[in-house]
């Protein structure tokens, strides 16, 4: 294969990855709406009942990320959904400046989830290996999602003020990570049902970590 041919094939693959199909756009819209509505209406209620902030955002958000990644089998879809949901929520429910950093964090977490889910080395994972990998990458992406908020606190409090509150921030970060991983775990538990619908949406050449090994 010549250099020109290889470049043409690579360009063609890149276009297929970047191009959103009508089904994908519809699915992203539906799941983004579910995330936004649950965060705006269920979030405050669950927060008051549990006295824990961010339960819906983390648990349901990471659940939806896994579902979308499985159904589409393409990079960029999770990032789009996370970005739409996080920033739309900030517009609907405007607040302090820090909320913008929180919203950016969710978008960044979605991008990290996207990158790790479609990592080339992860394509061959299956069974228990895939489960461990999915839970691990969820923990990493959840931790990354907290970074903008922590940077905002460092900026506003200064180094010494930030270090004073590090134990509290560490606890909040760990709690948020656990909630995100639990959301992914629930997604993994319904993987066989999700995989039944996936061929109707995704590209035939899509590859990703498999749980049931049905494909």
pLDDT for the residue numbered 27: 92
Domains and CATH numbers, the chain: 20-200 (1.10.1760)
Counting every residue written for the chain, the total comes to 215
* Residue 97: predicted pLDDT: 76
Segment-wise mean pLDDT, segments of 10 residues, the chain, 215 residues = 50 56 90 90 78 80 93 91 89 72 92 93 80 95 95 92 94 93 93 71 59 46
Q: What is the pLDDT of residue 125?
A: 77
Contact residues for 140 (Cβ-Cβ < 8 A; gap 6+):
112, 116
pLDDT value for 102? 85
Q: What is the pTM of this model?
A: 0.83
Residue 133: predicted pLDDT: 93
Q: What is the pLDDT at residue 203?
A: 58
Please give, one letter per residue, the 3-state secondary structure of the chain. CCHHHHHHHHHHHHHHHHCCCHHHHHHHHHHHHHHHHHHHHHHHHHHHHHCCCCHHHHHHHHHHHHHHHHHHCCCCHHHHHHHHHHHHHHHHCCCCCHHHHHHHHHHHHHHHHHHHHCCHHHHHCEHHHHHHHHHHHHHHHHHHHCHHHHHHHHHHHHHHHHHHCHHHHHHHHHHHHHHHHHHHHHHHHCHHHHHHHHHHCCCCCCCCCECCCCC
pLDDT at position 78? 95
Q: Give pLDDT, residue 215.
A: 40
pLDDT at position 81 is 96
> What is the reported pLDDT for 1?
47
Residues 6+ positions from 78 with CB-CB distance below 8 Å = 65, 68, 69, 110, 111, 113, 114, 117
Q: What is the pLDDT of residue 204?
A: 53
């Amino acid at each position: 294969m010549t250099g020109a041919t290889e470049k043409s094939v690579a360009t063609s693959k890149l276009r297929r990855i970047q191009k959103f199909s009508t089904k994908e756009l519809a699915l992203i819209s539906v799941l983004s709406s579910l995330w936004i509505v649950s965060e705006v209406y269920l979030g405050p209620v669950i927060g008051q009942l549990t006295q824990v902030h961010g339960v819906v955002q983390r648990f349901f958000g990471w659940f939806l990320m896994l579902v979308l990644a499985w159904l589409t089998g393409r990079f960029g879809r999770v990032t789009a959904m996370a970005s739409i949901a996080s920033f739309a929520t900030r517009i609907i429910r405007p607040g302090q400046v820090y909320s913008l950093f929180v919203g950016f964090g969710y978008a960044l977490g979605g991008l990290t989830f996207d990158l790790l889910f479609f990592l080339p080395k992860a394509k061959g994972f299956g069974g228990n290996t895939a489960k461990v990998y999915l839970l691990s990458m969820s923990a990493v992406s959840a931790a990354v999602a907290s970074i903008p908020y922590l940077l905002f606190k460092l900026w506003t409090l200064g180094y010494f003020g930030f270090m004073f509150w590090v134990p509290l921030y560490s606890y909040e970060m760990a709690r948020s990570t656990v909630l995100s991983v639990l959301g992914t775990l629930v997604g993994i538990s319904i993987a066989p049902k999700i995989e039944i619908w996936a061929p109707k949406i995704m590209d035939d050449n899509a590859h990703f970590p498999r749980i049931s090994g049905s494909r």
